[in-house]
Structure 1
Amino acid sequence: MFGFRHRYSKLMLLGALLGPLSGCSLLDISLDSQSTPLTTEELNTRLQTREYAVQFFAQIEQAADHLHDYYPKEDKVHQSYILLWKINAEEGMQHAAYQLSPIASLIDSWVFAHQMAAFFNTGAGNTLFSPIDTGDHQGLTVAQVTANHLQQAADEMARSVLTKSEFDKNLSFVEQFAKRYPFADLSFIRTPAYHEWLKANGISARDAVTTLGTIPEAIGDVSNRLALAANQGPKLLSWKAELIALNSTISTDEISAALNSVQATSQAFQDFVNNNPEYMEDLAKQMAIQLQPLVTEIDSKTSAQLAKLSQERMALDTMVARERSELVQLIERERKALAEIVDNERQKIAQDLDTLAQDAITQIMQQLTTLIKQTAVYLILVVLVIFFAPLGLGYALGRRSNGRRNEPRQ
């Protein structure tokens, strides 16, 4: 027994030591070079699907607890239905949502929500529970209300990670698949929809999963699965034990005793670790010696990566300086060319202005000469009129006067 604990404690300590290293950025540098990371869309799809799964678990448990309080404890039939609903719904969603492929998780979770809603609304589960007599959902059972809400939440989750055209196309597939493969009973036997989805979209199964992501992404996936097991595992175990006790001669006390035994074993191991500090210190030293080559390799690869990064940075600085110099020279050449063009245009404009001025002066002089000539003619005519008009008038008057004198008097 001590040998088993000795080996098991070594494994636990190794996991504890490797856990922090797996999240270290230096380890990422040395191990990520041979892996292809998931795309942003795939990571977002995985995150949204698993967040929906957590919401799914919480609402199923809340609705089941309400039904548990509604039916008497002596009603073994309905109490068994409630436990079966919780167990099979949450296990089915776990298998659907926590797959390697994010799109497979999305499609299977989406289909599961539609199948459960159809089961309680129009399928065999329509009459399993009594309808609600009051409230906004009068005439519906608690299971129907919960399933409908989870179906709507699944639609919204899919709409948030898909484009409109993709959502419409996949919604049609999900609805048709849910109708083709309905749940027959509360066992919720799940038919994986992902393979049918691949066929519907003309994708080969060999090309369905092209990468598992980088080491940190894979470790994060495993961490999520372990957290799920830690949170949901005890609940499922307790519900299954309660279901067995409800439908068999085994008492609840016996099941509780078995669970307490498991817990006591775990506590005993924890006490062993806490009460043997010297042994754990020696184990830590041994692990440090065993991990030293790995740490050395990480340091060497990290140094190489940093040196390579420094060289790339220097090359980038040189390239930027060269491009900057060429850009300055180009701007200077363009400036000189522009100045030369402006100077040429200015000279041409000045020449055009000189030509226009000469033409204007010539035309003005011609007009002025014509005006002077006309003015001289008018002056001569005026002078002639002024000087010769009185003379002619006097001459005419004189002749008239002489003519009157020469006439005989009567």
Structure 2
Amino acid sequence: MARIAPLSGFPEWLPDGRVVEQHVLGTLRRTFELHGFAGIETRAVEPLEQLLRKGETSKEVYVLRRLQADPDAVDNDKQLGLHFDLTVPFARYVLENAGKLAFPFKRYQIQKVWRGERPQDGRFREFVQADIDVVGAGELPYHYEVELPLVMAAAFDALAGIGLPPVRILVNNRKVAEGFYLGLGLDDVEGVLRNIDKLDKIGPDAVAAALAEECGATPEQAKACLELASISGSDATVVDRVRELAASYDASTELLETGLTELGALVEAAAVRAPGVVVADLKIARGLDYYTGSVYETVLIGHEALGSICSGGRYDTLASDGKNTYPGVGLSIGVSRLVSRLLSAGLVQATRSVPTAVLVAVVNKDERAASDVVAAALRARGIPADVAPKAAKFGKQIQFADRRGIPFVWFPGETDQVKDIRSGEQVDADAASWEPPAEDLWPRVVPGV
């Protein structure tokens, strides 16, 4: 039989990798719920016209179609596509359920999404995202733009114990950039933002050339845009440096000042609650045109080439039915990208690949029922237990457990005994009272070796 080749861009973890993924997801879920976010799940498909509202190209969307569909038949259903992120489905969810939701509405959502892009390190065609958003009805206070990156900082801090590298959450405010560009006399603000967003990928010279060609920027205007993008820092002096730069180019505007006030509030709060984690970086632009305030990107220290593992920002008009507007702010973690790096770099590992803590040996095939009784008694007390597949010699049954990382083997008899196959210690045991050490009860995720 020919060897089956894996499909590129569709990750499938081995059991120990799945343990790591589930630990990450569980940690995120607990953190989000601790901060008051309610969990939801939306359908996998949306009308194609809605998926393309964000300005994404159709090349990234997988269209849903029945294999035996008649191409000549009149189909009254809307053309559907698999969602490529969770923002558009959530915006639709808010509009459909606005009358049943209490605002501000805080939600988290952990689901698979599909994106038709070229697979590469950390980028997949099918992957898991974990999103948090806060949405208001008509208005949303700015303090939520401060709260969300700090919630994510808490989530990453909760994962630090398993070997997650330090993270840096880079923040900016679109009002700062837009106000500065307008003050310079650049009218194509969206075009400038899109090009500045490419700075890390193509470099300053290429960005300056693109600003001139696509946005009509003069050499001095392009130079000013790059100088703004070079400013970063983790304290309020960032605000002073931007004000000085704007004054030197006579580019101060009311919009710029509003953005600086908001950015300063975020940096000051982060310096207290997550010192060193949140950093203002004026080159963070987030090229999508629906962001209107704070924008965020997150990198793993030492793994910056992986790109952002968590991004988002403030949006004011993404969820709107023409009469009512629901502004919000959200952040999204690329869980599959994060887990992929944790596993491939050996940063974390599972203590075992199966949940089983105890393998109950089988003395002989006629006495399997006795082993089943022991396993059932252990499971009833919350201890993961399995029964050996066959009544081989005890040495082979121990080898079976060792290959799977199962720490204990139970030997039924007139007096039951349980053996820690790592240390060799064997003691008398009773299925109604014995229990393994807490650290052996379930698989754990620990730093890699």
Higher helix share: 1
Higher strand share: 2
- Between the two structures, name the one with larger relative contact order (CA 8 Å, sep ≥ 6): 1
With the shorter chain as reference, the TM-score category is under 0.3
TM-score, structure 1 normalization: 0.26
TM-score, structure 2 normalization: 0.24
Q: Could you say which structure has the larger radius of gyration? A: 1
